[in-house]
């Protein structure tokens, strides 16, 4: 823990992210050399990514149409007006860069040592993952000159397109390192228990690197020119990629989603201020699509009537329902904190693995790639990948914390029934999509549904990129728009476009931080 604190301190000071006052209680020189090994750092870095992702998920839920303010709470301020300040969600910037410095330390410790080539490759893959998170929210960010610690306290900013191209090349480098390691003599140090994602399977890390590269290429399609557009023959992930160091209901050891939304280890209810929106429930209750099967495992009390579990963002009135302990996103009927969990859905339990990347998202990426002409290994059709994405979504939601399927639920049968029940509606029945635009809308809409409260930020990203799922720009209602009724946005959809850079950047890196950024008019390079 002491090593982690020292690394974090150097990272935050080195890139001028946050006041150092909360880190001044350590007893050793934070600028001294750190004695460690890659194997001691990799697990904590991966857990750090899971915790960082949950911050992005919460932000995407609040902004991207998945959630609204619950009854009995106030003080939502800029979360319902979208008049963001330099303090709004600045934890996303701070925590992501802090996590990046951990991966940079692994690279520093392993560089030049062929025995640790796998550790370096994993760190590069995860750095690419984290930098995409930053670009997708802030556009231009420090990259080339970042993570230098005290040797560069005022790093310059790189254009978002440039960072995309560079991290795609970083993934290519990681893929090359893994392949070299697999044929090297002597063999590199193999990862085992410390790899809390794949248990040391470097083939699976190749697949994740391919998947992350595909995500970059699909999102930046026509907006960035990549050095290489080929993929490793290993293909893409086909199962959900989970981070699990042994999460359990204990102090500091809970699954980050559970510990952020359900109960803490002492049994105290957490974060009851948010609830689902009418807009997102329309994809389950028949307003847009009929999907009672997934709705019942995603939402508590879904089958008893959605009016009891919903509110429009910004609406504050005594009639708005309050949120139950464990939140509406925990569908389990056991609401006793000490024994709750072991449930299908999104809040599965304190011991569940945290999703780093879902198979559903990967399949929908492949569907869009096929639709727009990006060549990928195996060349699956857009229709095939679309169907696989729906099945994978059901499969993830129906799984319990131990990875088995919940008794009485059949993901394959229910996915097929879902398509049949929505026959003729191209948002679920791909054969009914008659144009390229309808096919893209179907792909992104299903991805939006599949990411609900899992990686809500990615659903929000895709809306900003494609304008799907559809949101009305006139005659706005709680069903056709997820914009807050208190929105101050000047856009036709009444939504924001991005967050602002943290105030610390304006204070400590004023010569480099981009100026005149607006939450309503400044766009990420791939956005509309």
Distance (Å, whole) CA 177 – CA 156? 29
Q: Are 169 and 227 in contact (CB under 8 A)?
A: yes
Distance (Å, whole) CA 161 – CA 226? 10
pLDDT tens profile 414-467: 999 999 999 999 999 999 999 999 999 999 999 999 999 999 999 999 999 999
β-pair partners for 274 = 69
What pLDDT score does 179 carry?
98
| pLDDT value at 24 more than 50 | no
Residues 6+ apart with CB under 8 A from 75: none
Distance (Å, whole) CA 50 – CA 242? 9
| pLDDT value at 481 more than 60 | yes
Percent residues over pLDDT 90 in the chain = 91
pLDDT tens profile 87-143: 999 999 999 999 999 999 999 999 999 999 999 999 999 999 999 999 999 999 999
pLDDT tens profile 310-323: 999 999 999 999 99
Give the residue-averaged pLDDT of 358-381: 97
pLDDT tens profile 196-218: 999 999 999 999 999 999 999 99
Find, among 422, 424, 440, the residue nearest to 432 by Cα: 424
Least confident window among 4-18, 171-185, 193-207, 493-507: 4-18
Distance (Å, whole) CA 87 – CA 44? 27
What is residue 356's three-state secondary structure?
Answer: strand
Residue ranges per structural domain of the chain = 1-35+89-226+502-528, 66-76+240-470
Check residue 191 and report its DSSP letter. Answer: P
Q: Are 223 and 217 in contact (CB under 8 A)?
A: no
| pLDDT value at 379 more than 50 | yes
* Maximum C-alpha span of the chain: 70
pLDDT tens profile 391-418: 999 999 999 999 999 999 999 999 999 9
Q: What is the mean pLDDT of the chain?
A: 93
What pLDDT score does 35 carry?
62
Confidence of residue 22 (pLDDT cuts 50, 70, 90): very low
1-35+89-226+502-528: CATH number: 1.25.40.390
Q: How do 241-243 and 354-357 pair as beta strands? A: antiparallel
What pLDDT score does 79 carry?
97
**Topology (CATH level 3) of domain 66-76+240-470:** 1.20.120
What's the 3-state SS for 102-131?
HHHHHHHHHCCCHHHHHHHHHHHHHHHHHH
Q: Are 68 and 11 in contact (CB under 8 A)?
A: no
β-pair partners for 357 = 241
Give the residue-averaged pLDDT of 226-255: 97
């Amino acid at each position: 823990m002491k090593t982690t604190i020292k690394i974090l301190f150097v990272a935050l000071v080195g890139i001028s992210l946050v006041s150092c006052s909360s880190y001044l209680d350590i007893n050793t020189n934070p600028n001294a050399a750190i004695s460690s090994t890659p194997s001691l750092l990799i697990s904590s870095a991966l857990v750090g990514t899971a915790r960082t992702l949950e911050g992005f998920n919460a932000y995407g839920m609040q902004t991207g149409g998945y959630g609204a303010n619950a009854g009995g709470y106030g003080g939502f301020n800029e979360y319902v007006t979208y008049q963001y300040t330099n303090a709004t969600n600045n934890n996303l910037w701070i925590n992501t860069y802090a996590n990046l410095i951990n991966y940079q330390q692994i690279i520093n410790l392993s560089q030049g040592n062929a025995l640790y080539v796998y550790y370096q490759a994993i760190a590069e893959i995860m750095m690419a993952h984290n930098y995409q998170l930053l670009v997708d929210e802030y556009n231009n960010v420090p990259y080339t000159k970042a993570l230098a610690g005290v040797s560069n306290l005022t790093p310059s900013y790189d254009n978002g397109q440039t960072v995309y191209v560079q991290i795609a090349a970083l993934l290519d480098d990681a893929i090359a390192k893994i392949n070299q390691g697999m044929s090297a003599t002597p063999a590199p140090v193999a990862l085992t228990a410390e790899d809390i994602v794949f248990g040391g399977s470097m083939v699976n890390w190749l697949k994740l690197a391919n998947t992350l590269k595909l995500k970059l290429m699909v999102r930046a399609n026509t907006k960035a020119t990549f050095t290489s557009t080929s993929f490793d023959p290993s293909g893409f992930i086909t199962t959900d990629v989970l981070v699990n160091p042994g999460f359990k209901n204990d102090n500091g050891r809970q699954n980050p989603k559970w510990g952020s939304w359900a109960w803490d280890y002492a049994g105290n209810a957490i974060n009851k201020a948010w609830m689902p929106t009418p807009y997102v429930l329309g994809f389950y209750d028949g307003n847009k699509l009929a999907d009672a099967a997934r709705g019942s495992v995603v939402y508590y009390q879904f089958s008893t009537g959605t009016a009891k579990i919903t509110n429009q963002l910004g609406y504050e009135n005594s009639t708005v329902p309050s949120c139950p302990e464990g939140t509406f996103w925990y569908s389990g009927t056991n609401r006793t904190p000490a024994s709750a969990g072991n449930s299908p859905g999104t809040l599965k339990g304190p011991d569940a693995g945290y999703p780093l990347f879902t198979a559903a998202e990967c399949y929908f990426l492949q569907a869009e790639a096929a639709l727009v002409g990006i060549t990928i290994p195996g060349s699956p059709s857009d229709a095939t990948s679309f169907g696989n994405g729906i099945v994978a979504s059901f499969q993830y939601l129906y799984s319990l914390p131990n990875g088995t399927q919940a008794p009485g639920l059949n993901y394959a049968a229910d996915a097929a029934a879902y398509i049949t029940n929505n026959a003729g509606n191209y948002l679920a029945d791909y054969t009914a999509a008659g144009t390229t635009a309808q096919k893209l809308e179907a792909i992104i809409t299903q991805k939006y549904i599949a990411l609900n409260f899992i990686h809500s930020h990615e659903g929000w990203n895709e809306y900003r990129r494609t304008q799907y799922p559809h949101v009305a720009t006139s005659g706005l209602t709680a069903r056709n728009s997820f914009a807050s009724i208190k929105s101050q946005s000047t856009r036709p959809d009444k939504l924001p476009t991005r967050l602002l850079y943290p105030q610390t950047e304006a204070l400590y890196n004023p010569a480099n931080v981009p100026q005149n950024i607006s939450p309503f008019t400044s766009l990420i390079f791939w956005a509309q």
